[in-house]
Structure 1
Amino acid sequence: MKKWLIALVASMMMSMTAFAVIEIHEFDSPEQEQQFHELNQTLRCPKCQNNTIGDSNAELALDLREKVYEMTKEGKSKQEIVDYMVARYGNFVTYQPPFTAATAILWLGPLCVVLIGFGFILTRSRRKPAKAAKSTPLSAEEQQRLDALLKEDNGDNK
């Protein structure tokens, strides 16, 4: 009985690979096929963090690939397909979002932080140093003593 149970479980686990699908698409021209493959590698899957729709195994990516295929077969241009995807999923679907007011902080924020930090460092370094205690010139006796100490120190190091 155990052998039959193990065989049943093993066959069920082996049948799970039957759900793996290989997508086969037929195109009218090589240009359509090339456009389809380029779009698969340039459009980002909205569900995945940083995968293209061609690299992702998510169901949404599968649906997007199918939509790209349908639109390509209809003769839509690459830009029309990208515009459709952006209208539906936002600028996130492209890897190179346009510069808009909404994305300005993402593009310019790091530059502003660096410039403000550099300006802060410059202003701090150009300030007058804190006033040190007033130094008075050495008396003749103190100067002779200092010279003797320096001469003695130089003599030991030789």
Structure 2
Amino acid sequence: MRPWRLALLFFFLTATAWASDQAAEDRMLHIASDLRCLVCQNESIAASQAGLAADLRQQIREQIHAGKSDDDIRAYMVDRYGDFVLYRPPLKPTTMLLWFGPFLLLALGFLVFAVSLRNRNRKSKDVALSEAERRKADALLAPANNVQDES
């Protein structure tokens, strides 16, 4: 075989392998972007630099090379780590707190705010001063009144 044909065959095989590896890598990133990093919890497995995230990305790659579908890979991760690993966990009784917890906390915050405002308004009602309290207040305010009168 001539050298240029051998080089062309090598280039074609290398380009084909690189393209299939790139497709597998893109698929891994797509799957990993839907999964939460269990260490960081606010990043996807695709974006996380944690060691566990790197291990999980490698597991996804291995399952892709084994011919598993995206749904099979996600199901494997959920079986192993629970629904928390999903950024969009399914709505079921065990995940109700994940779905509605933030709204419950927000409602509780509004309730505490409303009760504290109501209690503050009750305490700040005008209360009539006794005669002794009025004289004491006038005595305390008298120097301030004199300064204002002079200017």
TM-score by length of structure 2 reads: 0.49
- Which of the two has greater helix per residue? 2
TM-score by length of structure 1 reads: 0.47
